Structure 1
Amino acid sequence: MTDLGPEALAAMREVTRIHLRLWRKEELSSTAELGVSELLTNVLVHAPGDCELLVRETADGVVVGVTDFEDVLPVVKEPTEDATGGRGLFLLSQLADEFDIHQLDRGKQVWFRLSFAPRDDEKEQPCR
C-alpha cells in the first residue's frame, strides 16, 4: 500500500470488517478496525512510505499486522494525564490478547491477536 491517507484508512477498515464477516467473527470487528486504524495511522505519521497490512484468520480469532520499512521501533508506554498523544498503541496493547513489535531486516512489523469464545453452534460436539 503506498497511498496512505484518510480514504485508504477507511478502505482498510472496510477490508478488515468484510473479512471478519466472511469468517463469522464479527464480534471482533470493532476492536480489529480500531487496531487497523491505529497501526496504519502510525505508519502515516512516523514511517511514511510503503506498508503491508495482514489480516489473518486463526482458529479462535484473528491476527492483524502492519509491516513498514522504517527501522525505528515505536515505544509503547502508559500515557500521562497531560499527554496529547501516544495513547493508541498502549490502548491496543491492553485490548488485544497478544500484541508485539518485531524488528525485521528492513523495517518492522507491529501486530496484535484478538480471540473470542466460539458460538454454541461452533463448539465441538461429542461423538454419539
Structure 2
Amino acid sequence: MKKMPHFRKQMAQKTVHLNLTEDYMNHFQKNVQKLCKAEQDLAVGSDVEGQKVKDPIRTLLPVLLHPHDIYDKIRAVLLYIFSLNGTTEENLNKLIQHVKIKEDIEFILNWRELGVPIISSITELVPTA
C-alpha cells in the first residue's frame, strides 16, 4: 500500500511523456517528414527508390505552398538552385516572390561567394535603397 502513491505518480509522469511524444510525432508526420523528403530528394537528385528527380520544381512546390518556416523555404530554394547548378533570373524572381523573402535575398545571393552558380546576372535582383 505504501507504494501506491509512488506508482500513481510514475504513471502520471509516463502519461505526460506519452502525450508529448504523440504530439511531436503528429507534428513530424504533418510537417517535418515531407520537408525532409523534399530536401533529401533535391540534395541527392533522386528519391528513396533511386529514381532520378526529373522535375525539381515539382519537388520544391509542395514545400513552398505549405506554411513552413521562412528559413525552411529558403533552404529548399537553395537546394533547388544547387540541384540545377543555377537558375534563370526570371525563375529566381518568381521563387523570391512566392516565398516572400525580398528583404532576405542575401541568404540566396551569398551562395555565389561559395562558388555556387545562382544566375548569370544578379544586378536586377539586388534591392535598391
TM-score (norm 1): 0.30
Richer in helix (by share):
2
TM-score (norm 2): 0.30
**Which structure ranks higher in relative contact order (CA pairs < 8 Å, sequence separation ≥ 6)?**
1
